[in-house]
Amino acid sequence: MFEFRVITIFPELFESFREASLIGKAGSKELLKVKPIDLRDFTDDRHRTVDDAPYGGGSGMVMKAEPIFKALEKNEGCHKVLLTPQGAPLTQKIAHRLAGQSPLLLFCGRYEGVDERARGAFDEEISIGDFVLNGGEVAAMAVIEVVSRLIPGVLGNSESIVEESFSLGALEYPQYTRPEMFDGASVPHVLLSGNHKRVQDWRRGQALLRTRDRRPDLFEKLELSQLDRNLLEQAIEDKDK
């Protein structure tokens, strides 16, 4: 059983999340558990204070070191992650590593940050992208979702993990479902051919074309075989027709 522990000042945000969709189903199958932990349980003043004004002045509040240390102490043995925009950008590769690190403790930073002296108590810091959230809660949910789907048995079909975008370094190919004609647009003929090899080749070509057009940064890193080059060439031709 993979265990996520989430330290947050908003534990209630995780109640519906842990019950919904894939995460909830995996929870009932006892493949994983999401345990929200209220940071305020680790304070001892009447107001359950978790933040204070920054030394040196300035706007916003800083999360106090003491409750953080107490909460982490109570959870020793976990792999401890601080969620912060200053962390390493989350990738599929990092997610695969985290999927082997249960119990995984996710600490949701709030306000303007955490006291610098508490940062050393974490094993690593992770961000989910170059934008600013008010707190790490949504980032923690992103990490839980990314990691959960890599846990054996959580996804219905384990092939879908391997085939996906980013695992192969390329974006996903275009998908279609019924009806065959929608708003004057038909489904590409090859997908109706029943020829598995042709379908596979077409999808690879489309995935490469998409990656080239939309994510040149990813495309640059792909190591293309001669077949890949031919399939991309074909996809470019099909587009120009």
Interface with ligand 6GU by CB under 6 A: which residues? 83-85, 109, 127-129, 131-133, 135-136, 139
User: Residue 49 Cβ, how far from ligand 6GU at the closest point, in Å?
Assistant: 20
> Which amino acid makes up residue 108?
C
Q: What is the crossing angle of helices 196-214 and 226-240, to 10°?
A: 80
- Structure tokens of 131? 């934008």
User: Residue 167 Cβ, how far from ligand 6GU at the closest point, in Å?
Assistant: 22
How do strand 79-89 and strand 51-52 relate by DSSP bridges?
Answer: unpaired
Listing from the earlier edge strand, what are the strands of the sheet with 104-108? 32-38, 2-8, 104-108, 79-89, 124-127
User: Residue 40 Cβ, how far from ligand 6GU at the closest point, in Å?
Assistant: 19
Q: Name which of 86 and 160 has its Cβ closer to ligand 6GU.
A: 86
User: Residue 12 Cβ, how far from ligand 6GU at the closest point, in Å?
Assistant: 18
User: Residue 84 Cβ, how far from ligand 6GU at the closest point, in Å?
Assistant: 5
- Structure tokens of 54? 């920054």
Q: Burial, 43: exposed, middle or buried (Cβ in 10 Å; 0-12, 13-18, 19+)?
A: middle
Q: Name which of 88 and 224 has its Cβ closer to ligand 6GU.
A: 88
CB 4 within 8 A of CB 150: no
Q: Name which of 34 and 83 has its Cβ closer to ligand 6GU.
A: 83
> Which amino acid makes up residue 187?
V
Q: Name which of 101 and 234 has its Cβ closer to ligand 6GU.
A: 101
Rounded to an integer, what distance in angstroms lies between the CA atom of residue 217 and that of residue 208?
Answer: 13
Q: Name which of 82 and 150 has its Cβ closer to ligand 6GU.
A: 82
How do strand 79-89 and strand 104-108 relate by DSSP bridges?
Answer: parallel
User: Residue 101 Cβ, how far from ligand 6GU at the closest point, in Å?
Assistant: 17
Q: Name which of 138 and 187 has its Cβ closer to ligand 6GU.
A: 138
